[in-house]
Structures are given as C-alpha cells and as structure tokens.
Structure 1
Amino acid sequence: MKGKPEFSRAEADQIQELIKTKLKAGRPEQKKIRNQIRSLGFYYSNFYTSNREGGYNQEDFLNAVKIRS
C-alpha cells in the first residue's frame, strides 16, 4: 500500500482544499494537483478500485481515511 490510511487534521484540511481545486481544474492542472495530493500520502487507488467519471471528491476522501484530532 502506497501512502497512508490516517492523516492529521492539518493534512486532511490541505488535501480537502486540493481536492476542491482539482474538481474545478482542467485536465493538465488536475494531474499536478493529484501529484500534490499523493505527496501528502493520499492515494485514491488504495481505497477505491473504480475510476468513476468526475473522479473522487472530498466526501470520498473523508469516507476513506481516518483523521487524527
């Protein structure tokens, strides 16, 4: 498993902001943002196997990981 299943509140907030930005961005910019998200340790493929249209969103992230207080 790449990445990690648990994130600090600060990491989770940062990832959620990046996801929000990714959803509004064009394809080339989305790739850069996904790389930033991965650098924080979140790999969507660790939690979901389907690649649904539109990609993952903040709710998917929150449902997939544990956030430390």
Structure 2
Amino acid sequence: MVLEADVAVVPKCYLSALYIHEKGKLFTQLVDLLQFYEGFEINDNVGKQLTDDEVLQSHYDRVQSFQLLAFTKIPKL
C-alpha cells in the first residue's frame, strides 16, 4: 500500500477519463474500494489491527514529516 500511495494511484484514477465515463462503472467501484483499503487501520508488516493510539501517532508522524518538508523547502515559513 505504501508504493501505491507514493505514486498516487488513487488520485490519478480519479482524474482519468474512465472514472467519469458511463462505461467505467466497475473501474469506479474498484477505485473507491482501493481508496477504502488504502486508509485501512492495519499494520502492513504483521497484519494486526492498529490501536487508536497507534493510528493517532501515525497521523502525527505524517503531519510532522510534511511540516519538516515544508519548512526546509520554503524558507519564509
């Protein structure tokens, strides 16, 4: 799941012509299902459900990583 999040598979699918085309109904359903499981709260390494604290910590880690990137790329911040 990390690789497909890294290459932004779901957002690219949302922007594709097939996603909004009337013949792309199955594709739309599959992309929506992929988006749901992409954010599923499970440990990718061992397959166990994450606790609420682990989910919260993961969120904080992503926010902190984003802030670090923003502060290093935009000096005025």
TM over 0.5: no
User: Shorter chain as normaliser: what TM range?
Assistant: 0.3 to 0.5
| Greater Rg by CA | 2
TM-score for both structures, normalised by structure 1: 0.34
Flag the structure with higher helix content. 2
